């Protein structure tokens, strides 16, 4: 009988984290180190991680834990997260669905795309978060297409699952803070229909990362509320 499984879940999580970090110290593996950083990024993100790896395997029917926040399972399935995937080298962009329809689409599209470009091209050394967007996720462009927002990724930048999911998180953060700062800085003076407010509120509501699919070098993200 495995007494370890009888421990409270919060204690198990601490044990898994400690074991993983100690193992990672012994492994000269860029992907493993990225996974450690990824967990810290998730804790600070506005996007809630709800991808449940256990659902893809056979699970004990008695397991009734809440799977709305599945960041802890990352440690349990770490080998899958750091395994290289050749499909990711060719990715073109990550696509986020948008169901909010602005009244003045062209005006709002121009504001969002121009302001986002300022963020991911920012070379100020003091803005560490913006540097993180560029160097770790490979983001180089953003496009608003009315029913989606596409975040473009440099080829050969992503090599494993943790790289991809990091880029998904960073892309969401880029969209989130672009909309927020456009409002704060009052860069939308002709937004008579408060479309930026509507988009931002929609994004705040749909802040659950439920999954994603890869088709023809495009990642389609599934968001939930």
Question: How far is the C-alpha of 163 from the C-alpha of 179, rounded, in Å?
Answer: 24
Q: What is the pLDDT of residues 2-29, one digit of tens each?
A: 566 677 778 777 777 777 766 655 444 6
The answer on pLDDT for 58 being more than 80 is no
The answer on pLDDT for 133 being more than 90 is no
Tell me how crowded residue 31 is: count the other CB atoms within 10 A of its CB: 19
| Boundaries of every domain in the chain | 3-82, 86-224
pLDDT of residue 212: 95
Nearest to 162 by CA among 81, 220, 217, 80: 81
Ranges of H-type helices in the chain = 9-25, 30-44, 73-76, 78-82, 105-120, 128-137, 161-184, 195-205
pLDDT of residue 48: 92
| Residue 179 CB contacts under 8 Å (≥ 6 apart), including other chains | 112, 196, 199, 200, 203
Contact (CB, 8 A) for 149 and 139: no
Query: What φ, ψ does residue 127 adopt, rounded to 5°?
Result: -95, 80
pLDDT of residue 191: 94
The answer on pLDDT for 132 being more than 90 is no
The answer on pLDDT for 82 being more than 90 is no
Q: What is the pLDDT of residues 134-189, one digit of tens each?
A: 556 788 899 999 899 999 998 888 989 989 999 999 999 999 999 999 999 999 99
**Which carries the bigger pLDDT value, residue 55 or residue 214?**
214
| Share of residues in the chain with pLDDT > 90 (%) | 46
The answer on pLDDT for 129 being more than 70 is no
Tell me how crowded residue 195 is: count the other CB atoms within 10 A of its CB: 21
- For the segment 183-203, the average pLDDT, to the nearest whole number, is 94
């Amino acid at each position: 009988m495995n007494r370890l499984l009888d421990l409270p879940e919060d204690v198990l999580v601490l044990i898994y984290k400690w074991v993983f970090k100690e193992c990672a110290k012994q492994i000269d593996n860029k992907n493993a180190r990225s996974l450690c950083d990824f967990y810290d990024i998730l804790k600070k993100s506005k996007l809630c991680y709800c991808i449940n790896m256990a659902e893809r395997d056979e699970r004990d029917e008695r397991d009734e834990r809440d799977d709305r926040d599945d960041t802890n399972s990352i440690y349990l399935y770490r080998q899958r997260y750091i395994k290289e995937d050749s499909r990711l080298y060719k990715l073109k962009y990550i696509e986020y669905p948008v169901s909010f329809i602005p009244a003045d689409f062209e005006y709002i599209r121009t504001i969002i795309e121009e302001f986002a470009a300022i963020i991911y091209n920012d070379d100020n050394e003091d803005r560490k978060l913006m540097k993180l967007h560029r160097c770790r996720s490979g983001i180089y462009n953003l496009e608003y297409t009315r029913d989606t927002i596409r975040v473009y990724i440099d080829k050969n930048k992503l090599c494993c699952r943790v790289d991809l999911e990091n880029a998904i998180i960073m892309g969401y953060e880029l969209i989130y803070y672009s909309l927020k700062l456009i409002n704060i800085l009052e860069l939308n003076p002709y937004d008579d229909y408060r479309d930026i407010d509507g988009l931002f509120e929609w994004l705040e509501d749909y802040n659950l990362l439920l999954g994603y699919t890869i088709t023809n070098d495009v990642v389609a993200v599934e968001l939930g509320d």
